[in-house]
Chain A
Amino acid sequence: MFRTEEMDINMGPQHPSTHGVLRLKLTLEGEEVVDVRPVIGYLHRGVEKLSEHRTYPMIEPLTDRLDYVAAISENLGYCGAVEKLMGLHVPPRAQYIRVVLAELQRIASHLLWLGTHALDLGAMTVFFYTFREREMILDLFEAFCGARLTYNSMRIGGLYEDVPQGWTDRVRHFIGIFPSREKEYEDLLTVNRIWLGRTRGVGVLKPEDAVGLGVSGPTLRASGVDYDVRRAQPYSSYDQFEFDVPVGKNGDTYDRYIVRMEEMRQSCRIIRQALDRLPEGDVRAKVPKYIKPPAGEVYHVVESPRGEQGFYIVHKSGEMPYRMRFRAPSFVNLQALPVMCRGRLIADIVAVIGSIDIVLGDVDR
């Protein structure tokens, strides 16, 4: 008789499609995956501990390096948390510009996700097209704050500077041409039978599993749970904008793809509204030179491109936090990976990792 054996295989930490230094211990039965065990911690930098020895403005550059693909969302969440702790009111103009930045960042992050996801599934060219458009957004960020990846774009109480001259027109130009570019990605992928075959019904995450595992963001919404922090707990005047929250039906990789594609369109919509109604005025509230918040604790969440990004600060005295805790959406979403992958093929693991869009800097912190 034939005898079959399960094979253990090590995927990562150096592997082209684990998106960083994620290591997966796979147990295979031929090509079929019996079990997946993620091993994390290869990018652990102890950001939470480091934060305990820094004053509040000094922590912001650290948040850039958590989720380095969407640093502005981190900045926004962190500054929001400290402002909440201090009871600061951010000027409306700063709030609107923050929304524009955060939504541009969402598009940039989703573009990077789309490019790498498609690259994992073999469609190489989409990667270059999405990076072309992402580059335009990065140019906008560079014009605004001077950096292209780790922005440190905000300050507690508002922004460091107002937007430069002509910046809003450049943003308008971008959101003008972006929909036609997105149409091109859709032409290459959305209806392509190979893409459908690779994504539909792959890595299904049931809504109850998603909620049970604490999954958030597009991954949660693709499973059919209608929850978006921007709408549930509006921050930075998100309640003043009109936008739809796309929700999927089946919770498979294709739905996660569709949800993110739609989110990019909705982001364009939000940006357009924010630019149309951009208030005049100051961009920075009156903030003392040495930030000494009152003792207490605060939890603030924002909707980062990856999901619910939370910041929990315990402050006792002085200029530094007593305890700092980041709720990393990638870390939580990664928990759903084994559930989605069991019983599928190796090729599906790659598709699923791509579709939950993890950033290892965020996972390991």
Chain B
Amino acid sequence: MTARPAAGFRDFLKMLLLLELWVGLWVTLKNQFRPHITVEYPRERVELSPRFRGVPRLRFHPENGEELCIACHLCETVCPDDCIHIVSEKKPDGKGKRLVSFEINYERCCFCGLCVDPCPTKPLTAIYMSHDYEMADFKREGFVAPLKVLLNGVDPKDYKE
């Protein structure tokens, strides 16, 4: 534990010369030589780590371009905020189901990533946490993302001056 200042001649001298106040000034002066840590946000962005959890999205298979989602409704079940809404139908050939619509209500979403956890299309999950995080909008309708937006994403807004 850091010692409390004790009485004594040296400490008295230290007190008289305001030593610790000079040390404090030195620290702030020294820090001027450190690189600044803030970024000018719209102009420059911080680098996101690969696991960053942004807006949840759906994805195609990277090779054959097919929808990965098998409409198992697991993400809908596990979502703590009830923000996922799936409508599915039986495939015409009888095997499995396919999506009719898939909506995520971003007004409710809390970005917890629980929907990715049970997704059965391993190793590449159909639903994933994308790296988009700019989702401000003027209309509430803009927060309900239909299947098309979920698959293709939205063009990033450009905030350049």
Contacts and interface: CB of A to CB of B under 8 A. Distances in A.
B2 A258 contact: yes
A261 B26 CA distance: 21
Nearest to A261: B2
Contacts of B118: 289
Given A147-B53, A164-B51, A289-B118, A61 B112 contact: yes
A125 B27 CA distance: 10
B20 A193 contact: yes
B111 A246 contact: no
Given A132-B37, A193-B15, A193-B21, A164 B50 contact: yes
Nearest to A144: B51
A129 to B, nearest CB: 7
Interface residues of B, number: 30
A84 to B, nearest CB: 21
Interface residues of A, number: 40
A152 B111 CA distance: 9
A186 B2 contact: yes
Contacts of A143: 49-51
A188 B27 contact: yes
B117 interface: yes
Interface stretch (A8-16, A52-60, A87-95, A342-350): A52-60
B27 A184 contact: yes
B23 interface: yes
A261 B4 CA distance: 14
A348 to B, nearest CB: 20
Nearest to B31: A129
B100 interface: no
B20 A192 contact: yes
A187 B31 contact: no
Contacts of B129: 146
A142 B113 CA distance: 13
Interface string B95-137: 0000000000000001111100110000000000100000000
B5 A191 contact: yes
A262 interface: yes
B49 A191 contact: no
A188 B23 CA distance: 7
A138 to B, nearest CB: 11
Nearest to B111: A147
B80 A58 contact: yes
Given A57-B78, A58-B78, A187 B51 contact: no
Most buried by A among B5, B26, B51, B114: B51
Nearest to B46: A139
B1 interface: yes
Contacts of A196: 5
Contacts of B21: 192-193
27 contacts: A54-B80, A55-B78, A57-B78, A58-B80, A61-B112, A62-B80, A125-B28, A125-B31, A129-B31, A132-B37, A143-B49, A143-B51, A144-B51, A146-B51, A146-B113, A150-B110, A152-B114, A160-B117, A164-B51, A187-B27, A188-B24, A188-B27, A193-B21, A196-B5, A258-B2, A261-B2, A262-B1
Interface of B: 1-2, 5, 15, 20-21, 23-24, 26-28, 31, 37, 48-53, 78-80, 110-114, 117-118, 129
Given A61-B110, A192-B20, A193-B21, 5 more contacts: A142-B51, A143-B49, A150-B111, A160-B117, A289-B118
A-B CB proximity, top 6 nearest = A146-B53, A58-B80, A61-B112, A146-B51, A143-B49, A191-B20
